[in-house]
Amino acid sequence: MTAPTALTASSASLAPLNLQAAIVDLDGTMVDTIGDFVVALGLTLGELGLPAVERAFVERTVGKGSEHLLRCTLAHVGGDAALYDAAWAAYQRHYLVINGQHSAVYPGVVEGLQQLRAAGLRLACLTNKPTAFARPLLAAKGLDGYFEVVFGGDAFARKKPDPLPLLETCRALGTAPAATLMVGDSRNDAEAAHAAGCPVVLVSYGYNHGEPIRDVPAQACVDRLDELLRSS
Ligand SMILES: O=C(O)COP(=O)(O)O
Ligand SMILES: [Mg+2]
- Domain end point (choices 83, 98, 113): 98
Residue 94 shares a structural domain with residue 142: no
Residue 204 shares a structural domain with residue 214: yes
d(CA 102, CA 118): 30
- Is residue 68 included in any domain, yes or no? yes
* Separation of CA 222 and ligand 2 centre (Å): 14
Counting beta carbons within 10 angstroms of the beta carbon of residue 149, is it exposed (0 to 12), middle (13 to 18) or buried (19 or more)? middle
Considering every ligand atom, which ligand is closest to the CA of 64?
A: 1
- Is residue 185 included in any domain, yes or no? yes
d(CA 87, CA 92): 9
* Separation of CA 63 and ligand 2 centre (Å): 5
Atom of ligand 1 nearest to the CA of 27: 9
Cα dist from 42 to 50, 63, 158, whole Å = 9, 18, 27
- Domain end point (choices 98, 123, 142): 98
Residue nearest to atom 5 of ligand 1 (CA): 128
The ipTM of this complex is: 0.97
- Is residue 136 included in any domain, yes or no? yes
- Domain end point (choices 56, 73, 98): 98
Residue numbers of the domain that contains 48: 34-98
- Is residue 183 included in any domain, yes or no? yes
Cα 55 vs. chain centroid, distance in angstroms? 18
pLDDT of 13 reads 61
* Residue 223 marked in a binding site: no
Considering every ligand atom, which ligand is closest to the CA of 160?
A: 1
- Is residue 1 included in any domain, yes or no? no
Residue 53 shares a structural domain with residue 84: yes
| Beta-carbon contacts of residue 163 (< 8 Å; ≥ 6 apart) | 192, 193, 195, 196, 197
Provide the residue count of the chain: 232
Residue 144 shares a structural domain with residue 154: yes
Helix (H, G, I), strand (E, B) or coil at 190: helix
Residue 166 shares a structural domain with residue 148: yes
Is the backbone of residue 63 left (phi > 0), alpha (psi -120 to 50) or beta? left
Inter-residue contact 225 to 126 (CB < 8 Å) = no
Residue 26 shares a structural domain with residue 119: yes
- Is residue 190 included in any domain, yes or no? yes
CATH code of the domain covering residue 38: 1.10.150
Residue 69 shares a structural domain with residue 80: yes
pLDDT of 139 reads 98
Ligand 1: list residues with CB < 6 Å: 25-28, 62-66, 69, 127-129
Residue 28 shares a structural domain with residue 122: yes
* Residue 220 phi, psi (nearest 5): -165, 165
Helix (H, G, I), strand (E, B) or coil at 127: coil
The per-residue pLDDT string of the chain (232 residues; one tens digit each, 9 = 90 and over) reads 444 434 454 555 676 778 999 999 999 999 999 999 999 999 999 999 999 999 999 999 999 999 999 999 999 999 999 999 999 999 999 999 999 999 999 999 999 999 999 999 999 999 999 999 999 999 999 999 999 999 999 999 999 999 999 999 999 999 999 999 999 999 999 999 999 999 999 999 999 999 999 999 999 999 999 999 863 3
Atom of ligand 1 nearest to the CA of 68: 3
pLDDT of 5 reads 35
Residue 126 shares a structural domain with residue 212: yes
What residues are paired with 7 via a beta bridge? Answer: 229
Instruction: Provide the residues around ligand 2 (an ion) whose CB is within 5 A.
Output: 25, 27-28, 185
Look at strands 149-151 and 6-7 and give their pairing.
unpaired
